[in-house]
A = this chain, B = another copy of it.
Amino acid sequence: MPEQGNRRVVIVGAGFAGLSATRALSGESVDVTLIDRSNHHLFQPLLYQVASAALNPSDIAVPIRRILRNQKNATVLLADVKRIEPSRREVMTNQGPISYDHLVLACGATHSYFGNDHWAQHAPGLKSLDDATDIRSRILYAFEAAEREPDPTKRAAWLTFVVIGAGPTGVELAGALAEIAFRILVHDFRRIDPRDARVLLLEGRRVLPPYSEESADSARHQLESLGVEVREQTLVTGIDDAGVSIGDERIEARTVLWAAGVQASPVGASLGTETDRAGRVVVEPDLSLTGFPEVFVIGDMCRFEQDGALVPGVAPAAMQAGRHAAQNLLRRVNGQPTLPFHYVDKGSLATIGRAAAVAEVAGMHLSGLIAWLAWLGIHIFFLIGFRNRSLVLFEWAWAYLTHQRGIRLITGDVAERVRSGHADRNPTVGDERDPEDTSRVDRS
């Protein structure tokens, strides 16, 4: 039995890492407080499907309380963690400080604009449900604005979509954009042909950097078949509300999406220990924090090297680390030595579009339909909840059979700005005219 003063476990973050750690402590004689600033666990690998109007937010998000309702030793707290005071063993939140005996930090990562934070307003990234519905609204709004724009140059800018960064998220977003423009919206407009749209995928290195050359070639080929213009070795030097600059070259585009870089949560830096350039916390082999063995740091905010390479920021790695941190935490509670973490790579998968994907599993490189089916099956399997699995399967079957995307809604801030005409606040709704403007809407 652990002593009384050794039982308070605080876990920060209910992503794959933090949630796996929490569940691994189920039934153990510890008191777990799981803190997150959202009320839901998000299945991030499918977030781009919400951004591209294929899935509903609730298909890929489940209330944390719902997941843990039967885990009696877990209390869920909605709060925003600002920093950690490891020497006082306190988590500082916007709801006041919380003391711990053991801490598991799994705060994840956010976008990084490589020092160009002013790009954020013009090129939103994709990390939360609100990001996804905002990007969805921007994409759909661009076609609406093009439909009513009489000037051909301006119309072309509304119909140009640039995705920056060709990692899995960028590849998936570009593929989805191509499907929307070239297949799904084709019959819905009267003045524009959505097939006139351009979808550009810009990447500083090459497509899918962590994958093999063979998979990258296949992904590039599949993207180009869908109509995406793939440009590798291309460094963006400027982004503003009208487009993207690449050195002297200029691409006029009203919709620019950012999928290029991630930065670990700033909570990591507040620990005062060693971090790398991306803000990831360097940890000991047992995932604990140097000098603070009662603190474990896992998931996307942790830097863990194995066999000379970084453990990647993917869901399977986060889940394995979550379970391992929980085990080590229990070993400490029980006075046992901790064990080193070892990541087991089960393979990589990235989807590109309808029946298009690449996979690297057990040394095999798959692509096309078979990789896409593997991707489908695995993602449905790991979704939480029977309801969600059924609905996602329904949405995918529906989209596949009908070439439709069911969630084509413009909502939130973008919709609000359509109404209010507050043009200056969002580049994608930037050309609202004054009602007194005497220029006519082209009704031809």
Q: Which residues of A contact B (CB under 8 A)?
A: 8, 31, 33, 37-40, 56-58, 61, 63, 65-66, 69-70, 74-80, 82-83, 92-99, 129-130, 133, 140-141, 144-145, 147-148, 185, 187-191, 387-388, 390-391, 394, 398, 402, 404, 406-412, 415-416, 418-419, 421, 432-441, 443
Contact = CB atoms under 8 A, between A and B. Distances in A.
A394 B386 CA distance: 12
Given A57-B407, A76-B147, 17 more contacts: A39-B140, A39-B141, A40-B408, A40-B409, A56-B56, A56-B407, A65-B189, A69-B187, A77-B148, A78-B141, A93-B435, A95-B441, A96-B437, A96-B440, A130-B411, A130-B415, A394-B394
Contacts of A391: 391, 394
Contacts of A37: 415, 418-419
B441 A98 contact: yes
A39 B190 contact: no
Smallest CB-CB A-B distances: 10 pairs: A65-B188, A78-B144, A58-B407, A82-B435, A39-B410, A63-B408, A75-B190, A56-B56, A94-B421, A92-B435
Number of copies: 2
Nearest to A137: B39
Contacts of A38: 410, 415
A398 B394 contact: no
Contacts of A432: 94-95
Nearest to A149: B95
Contacts of A438: 96-97
Contacts of A387: 398, 402, 404, 406
Given A78-B148, A394-B390, A411 B97 contact: no
Contacts of A79: 148, 418, 441
Which among A65, A140, A187 has the highest number of chain B CB atoms within 10 Å? A65
A439 B93 CA distance: 11
B80 A188 contact: no
Nearest to A31: B443
Contact of A58 (B141, B147, B409, B435): B409
Nearest to A188: B65
A77 B442 CA distance: 11
B58 A130 contact: no
Given A56-B58, A78-B148, A39 B419 contact: no
B129 A433 contact: no
7 contacts: A33-B443, A76-B190, A77-B148, A98-B443, A129-B409, A130-B411, A130-B412
B130 A439 contact: no
A23 B101 CA distance: 66
A94 B148 contact: no
Contact of A78 (B75, B130, B418): B418
A74 B434 CA distance: 25
Nearest to A61: B409
A408 B92 CA distance: 27
Contacts of A148: 77-79, 95
B434 A97 contact: no
A144 B435 CA distance: 43
Contact of A412 (B40, B61, B407, B412): B412
